[in-house]
Amino acid sequence: MIAVWHCQGVTSPSTAGAVRQGSLRELNLAVVLRRIATADRPPSRAEIAAETGLTRATVSAVVDDLIGGRLVAEAGPAPRTGAGRPARGLVLAGDGPAGLGLEVNVDYLAACVVDLAGTVRHHVVRRADLRPVSPADALARLAALAADARAAAARQGLTLAGAALAVPGLVDAGGLVRLAPNLGWRDVDVPALLAGHRLTEPVDGVPPLVVENEANLAALGELHAGPPGSASFLQISGEIGIGAGIVLDGRLYRGARGWSGEIGHIPVHPEGRPCRCGGRGCLERYAGQEVVLAAAGLAGADLPADTAATRLAELAAAGDPATRTALADAGTALGVAVAGVVNLLDLDTVVLGGGYAPLAPWLRPPVVAELSRRVLTAAWSPVTVRPAALGARSAAVGGAASVVRRIVDRPVGWLAHSG
Amino acid sequence: MIAVWHCQGVTSPSTAGAVRQGSLRELNLAVVLRRIATADRPPSRAEIAAETGLTRATVSAVVDDLIGGRLVAEAGPAPRTGAGRPARGLVLAGDGPAGLGLEVNVDYLAACVVDLAGTVRHHVVRRADLRPVSPADALARLAALAADARAAAARQGLTLAGAALAVPGLVDAGGLVRLAPNLGWRDVDVPALLAGHRLTEPVDGVPPLVVENEANLAALGELHAGPPGSASFLQISGEIGIGAGIVLDGRLYRGARGWSGEIGHIPVHPEGRPCRCGGRGCLERYAGQEVVLAAAGLAGADLPADTAATRLAELAAAGDPATRTALADAGTALGVAVAGVVNLLDLDTVVLGGGYAPLAPWLRPPVVAELSRRVLTAAWSPVTVRPAALGARSAAVGGAASVVRRIVDRPVGWLAHSG
DNA sequence: TCATTTAATTCAACCGTTGAACAAATTGCG
DNA sequence: CGCAATTTGTTCAACGGTTGAATTAAATGA
């Protein structure tokens, strides 16, 4: 007989999930804060008690802690009809912790600050061609943007509790950028290069800097900012390479080694065009930006990535036949690859982000056509294909939002810091 | 500014995760039981305290509850060297709850019983061609096997706490089999058809019957029974169609509507052979069992699925060139599709299950070859391709194990039942 | 035989939730 | 305008369960 309890790969936290006496309050702080964060309008203590099953006494005590720690504030009492003491609404504080989102891409650097409520309080994009620049230099420039963002946050009464950096490549745990081909980076230890810069305040339980693939952070941004409805979706970002952020059941899926999302190397013509990855017939050889530019007669123009997308959108909007054909062919190839993914993962939404977002009007029809004919369940349940809600800044915003999410998921770290 | 707290698709349990006074003991029962279940050798109370961070007093009290509820038993004290009170080892009880695993497939019915320790205590496969049989009839025959299994369990002092049924098709939440093409089933309400049969004892928190796709349950079985090492893998099952169970980060991934795993409809030649799904060039038209049988000269033999796989394995082992070429071609197509999946999902293990398991010696080399040339990270981190550890009974065992897993994850349901 | 060591049990204290009681703040009716 | 009714928020003694320390149990080895 074969034992089935050797569960593989799942490593437990150090206390293995044990619930200590102190865990009660810690977890209930998170539950109540989450309830305030996700409410459609400011809830009262009594409403929170009704929804969570905790008593009004407990909710009152927990809310006292959250108010004391500047995570929550009271709104004015709501006007009411009928007898009864007016309820005090509770909202997320606008002057407590915030997340710092950073991004290095081929032709720009970005920094933004997102507060607890998810509001973007600062956002700067600095244009620069970063391919000829060393990683140390690029990160030094980024640190300057981060310092500006930190100062701007302080002026607004916000404390940066952590940072997340988006890069266009494969990132190991620990922040080592294994390969970012578009930047020419290989084995770049980003945390080490940024170690001399104080980006944020130390908060227990929040790593000071998380380095993550930009498609993954963009998907996180989209998860929170997108229209309601889908907890599983694919967000595709098409530049030279084609990457994807994958959200399954409301959570970002990073893969066994953190290298998920390489949709550009799905074979769409198995013995087709050679690819720089060593394979043949990869999606990026049929729907990558270089291919579309060449087919549109723009090969060798050496445009920055987002300028290239804008240029293609302008040509397509003007009715240029070569550009429209190139985008239709790219959309068809993309549709073939995505159809396979949808069949395998049973996704109901596909988001066109990155360089594909401005080209969505011309990419979407052939993608939808391929999905209609190749997805097994398409007749019952069509797949939604839409452009990204956040547009170009989704990676930095997603990164900042992920920092803020850690505070909401575990408020005691912040409360210990500020109390 | 765009709010990011409208988190979509994640529905909370009724108390929204609030931790009540009673939650302490409930959660710690689960923590301690999990520790006993996953230990390499019987742990003592002191060891459990050291590993979980709970005090020895608390662990002692929790273990008293688990022993009283017949979930845990004490082993004899271990011989020790040096002074000190000998420790009493703790093991999962062999005479408490068990799970019932059931399976309906094209040419057989199966029932098995798995106890808390994961040991298979009863397993029966009844051969029958179920395609001409109505769903009601097929399920009536299955209920008879289940009654036999229940009696056998009772004779061994086991109580069946829930059942899981594996079917070869798309299953909605609630157990409606939307489509099982190989059985000719469409919109079959399995729980309603089995409602007149008492399969198991009612246990709080354990659904009496879960209906699930067989590739998914097979993957669950493999997750627990497979060799240590991978929390993310794809388990492929090739019969007429080709399905997959997907395990990501230690959890079964079912998809937005529960219809994940349709790897057979990944396009490998976009304008290739027409498929019955309406698309062209789908994997199942290149690597499905019917295609391999035809290429091996066995078309029209109308063999049962697993007999067909056995027959193909015999021919290949005997060196039949047509069979070997057919398997090599199928392996190549399979490798192309799987390479795309591995690039997207960053998996490090692929398991050949179902009808592919006996053919693994001939399928594996071309699959590995395609992965080597098409997976972006293959040079750094090769993908493991291996046959399934559980073989043909993995779906029923996986189903039974998932029932048992619910007991271990929430022992208070069982304790309330038996106390 | 007894000191030493380790495991398991017992115990009073503490933390945080709890249900009930009480206080506060309204509306609406007579 | 006064007051009953109603709802929200706060206070309080009690309780459940964990806790750290003390005690008991069960061995080994000098």
Residues A32-66, buried b or exposed e (16+ Cβ, 10 A)? bbbbbbebeebbbbebbbebbbbeeebbeebbebb
Residue A176 in domain: yes
Closest residue of chain A to B25, computed from CA coordinates: A19
Any strand D atom closer than 7 Å to A57 CB = yes
Q: What is the DSSP track for A307-353?
A: HHHHHHHHHHHTT-HHHHHHHHHHHHHHHHHHHHHHHHH--SEEEEE
Q: What is the pLDDT of residue B375?
A: 93
At B357, the pLDDT band (50, 70, 90 cuts) reads very high
Closest chain A residue by Cα to residue B399 = A4
Average pLDDT over residues A87-100: 95
- Using DSSP bridges, classify how beta strands A159-167 and A97-104 pair: parallel, antiparallel or unpaired: parallel
Q: Is pLDDT at B392 greater than 80 in this prediction? A: no
Does residue A88 sit within a domain?
Answer: no
Mean pLDDT of chain A: 90
Q: Measured on CA atoms in the order B123, B128, B129, B130, is the torsion positive or negative?
A: negative
Q: Do A231 and B8 touch (CB under 8 A)?
A: yes
Give the percent of chain B with pLDDT over 90: 70
- The answer to whether residue B336 scores a pLDDT higher than 60 is yes
Q: Do A9 and B250 touch (CB under 8 A)?
A: yes
Q: What pLDDT score was predicted for residue B259?
A: 85
The spacing between the Cα labelled CA in B81 and the C1' in C5, in angstroms, equals 11
Judge whether residue B15 has pLDDT over 60. no
Q: Is the pLDDT of residue B307 over 90?
A: no
Please indicate, yes or no, whether residues A122 and A214 belong to a single structural domain of this protein: yes
CA of B189 to C1' of D12 (A): 54
Q: What is the mean pLDDT of residues B313-324?
A: 95
Contacts of B269 in chain A (CB under 8 A): 269-270
A148, A177: one domain: yes
One domain for residues A264 and A383: yes
- Minimal CA separation from B107 to chain A, in Å: 24
Token pair recorded at residue A407 = 């505070």
A412 CA to centre of own chain:
24
Quick one: A247 and A373 in the same domain? Answer: yes
Angle at CA of residue A268, ends A370 and A274, nearest 5°: 150
* A73 in a structural domain: no
Tokens of A270: 């198995």
pLDDT of residue A116: 95
Residue A231 shares a structural domain with residue A361: yes
Q: Measured between alpha carbons, how far is A273 from B147 in angstroms, rounded to an integer?
A: 59
Residue A27 CB closer than 7 angstroms to strand D? no
Edge-to-edge strand list for the sheet holding A97-104:
A120-127, A108-115, A97-104, A159-167, A209-213
Is residue A317 in some structural domain? yes
Distances (CA, A) of B183 to B187, B226, B288, B399: 12, 29, 16, 20
Instruction: Give yes or no for A28 touching B (CB within 8 A).
Output: yes
The pLDDT, as a whole number, for residue B6 is 37
What pLDDT, on the 0 to 100 scale, is given for residue B219?
93
Asked if A187 and A205 count as a contact pair (C-beta separation under 8 A), the reply is: no
Burial B89-126, CB ≥16 within 10 A → b, else e:
bbbbbbebbbbbbbbbbbbbbbbbbbbbbbebbbbebe
User: Any idea which residue has 């693994």 for tokens?
Assistant: B360
Size of interface A-B (CB pairs under 8 A): 300
Which of residues A68, A86, A107 is at a domain's end?
Answer: A68
Both A36 and A156 in a single domain? no
Same-domain pairing of A379 and A274: yes
Which residues are within 8 A (CB) of A341 and not within 5 positions of it... i.e. 6 or more apart? A234, A263, A266, A347, B344
Q: B388 to chain A: which residues are within 8 Å by CB?
A: none
Compute the distance between CA of residue B109 and CA of residue B101 in angstroms, rounded to an integer. 11
pLDDT of residue A12 exceeding 80 = no
Residue B9's pLDDT is 27
Strand C close to B393 by CB, under 7 A: no
Q: Give the pLDDT confidence score for residue B3 in this predicted structure.
A: 35
Per-residue model confidence (pLDDT) at position B419: 53
A208 and A356 belong to one structural domain: no
Give the model's pLDDT for residue B305. Answer: 64
Q: Do B2 and A390 touch (CB under 8 A)?
A: yes
A124 touches strand D (CB under 7 A): no
- Cite the beta strand spans of B78-180 per DSSP E: 88-92, 97-104, 108-115, 120-127, 159-167, 170-171, 176-180
Asked if the model's pLDDT at residue A100 lies above 70, the reply is yes
Encode A11-64 in three state secondary structure: CCCCCCCCCCHHHHHHHHHHHHHHHHHHCCCCCCHHHHHHHHCCCHHHHHHHHH
Tell whether B2 is covered by a domain: no
Distance of alpha carbon B203 from alpha carbon B255, whole angstroms = 27
Q: Is the pLDDT of residue B304 over 80?
A: no
Instruction: Identify whether residues B265 and B315 lie together within a single domain.
Output: yes
Tokens of A405: 């999410």
Signed CA dihedral, B130, B131, B136, B139: sign only: positive
Residues of B in contact with A21 (CB under 8 A): 24
CB-strand contact A61/C, under 7 Å:
yes
**Could you say which of B8, B278, B345 has the minimum Cβ distance to residue A228?**
B8
Question: Does the pLDDT value for residue B13 go beyond 70?
Answer: no
With respect to residue B324, please indicate whether it lies within any of the assigned structural domains. yes
Is the Cβ–Cβ distance between A376 and B262 less than 8 Å? yes
Q: Note the strand C nucleotides within 7 A of protein beta carbons.
A: 3-11, 14-21, 23-28
Residues 6+ apart with CB under 8 A from A378: A371, A372
Q: Are residues B254 and B143 in the same domain?
A: no
B61-97 pLDDT tens trace: 999 999 999 999 999 887 788 899 999 999 999 999 9
Region for A137 from its dihedrals, namely left if φ exceeds 0, alpha if ψ lies in -120 to 50, beta otherwise: alpha
* B1 within a domain of the structure (yes/no): no
Show which of residues 236-265 on chain B sit within 8 Å of chain A, judged by CB atoms: 244, 246, 248-250, 253-263, 265
CB-CB under 8 Å, A21 with B34: no
Whole-number pLDDT of residue A13: 36
* Residue A173 touches partner B, C-beta closer than 8 Å: no
Q: Judge residue A335's burial from the number of C-beta atoms within 10 Å of its C-beta, 0-12 exposed, 13-18 middle, 19 or more buried.
A: buried
Specify whether the CB–CB gap between B130 and B184 falls below 8 A: no
Are both A406 and A379 inside the same structural domain?
no
Domain that holds residue B207: 97-218+395-418
User: Is the Cβ pair A224, B5 closer than 8 Å?
Assistant: yes
The CA distance from B328 to B295, in Å, is 11
Q: How far apart are CA A363 and CA A371, in angstroms?
A: 13
A84 touches strand D (CB under 7 A): yes
| Interface subset of B 177-196, CB within 8 angstroms of A | 178
CB of A16 lies under 7 Å from some atom of strand D:
no
Residue A1 pLDDT greater than 90, yes or no: no
Per-residue flag: A83 CB under 7 A of strand C: yes
Q: Characterize the bridge pairing of strands A159-167 and A209-213.
A: parallel
| CATH code of residue A210 | 3.30.420.40
Task: Give the whole-angstrom CA distance, residue A383 versus residue B195.
Answer: 34
Query: Cβ–Cβ contacts within 10 Å for residue B62, how many?
Result: 25
Q: Which residue has the higher pLDDT, A160 or B277?
A: A160
CB contact under 8 A, A267 and B120: no
Q: Report the alpha-carbon distance of residue A229 to residue A412 in Å, rounded.
A: 31
Query: What's the average model confidence in pLDDT over B243-250?
Result: 92
Q: Is residue A11 part of a domain?
A: no
pLDDT for B376 equals 87
Q: What is the mean pLDDT of residues B364-370?
A: 97
Alpha helices per DSSP H over A209-288: 214-225, 284-287
Higher pLDDT, B82 or B33: B33
Write down the pLDDT at residue B284: 93
Chain B residues with CB-CB distance to A262 below 8 A: 343-344, 346, 376
Q: What angle do CA B384, B390, B396 make, to 5 degrees?
A: 130
pLDDT at A304: 65
Same domain? B32 vs B166: no
C-beta atoms of A225 and B340 within 8 A: no
Residue B11 touches chain A, beta carbons under 8 Å: no
Burial class (CB in 10 A: 0-12, 13-18, 19+), A25: middle
Which chain B residue has its CA at the smallest distance from A232's CA?
A: B256
- pLDDT for residue B23: 92
Chain A residue with minimal CA distance to B53?
Answer: A15
Tens digit of each residue's pLDDT (9 = 90 or more) over B87-139? 999 999 999 999 999 999 988 999 999 999 999 999 999 988 898 999 999 99
d(CA B115, CA B92): 9
Which residues on adjacent β-strands are paired with residue B53? none
| pLDDT tens per residue across span A336-391 | 999 999 999 999 999 999 889 999 999 999 999 999 999 988 888 899 999 998 87
Cβ burial, residue A164 (10 Å; 0-12/13-18/19+): buried
Number of domains in chain B: 3
Taking the C1' atom of every nucleotide in all shown strands and the CA of B57, the nearest one is C9
Residue A393: pLDDT above 90? no
Q: Is the C-beta of residue B76 closer than 7 Å to nucleic acid chain D?
A: no
Task: With residue B351 as reference, give the H or E element that holds it.
Answer: strand B349-353
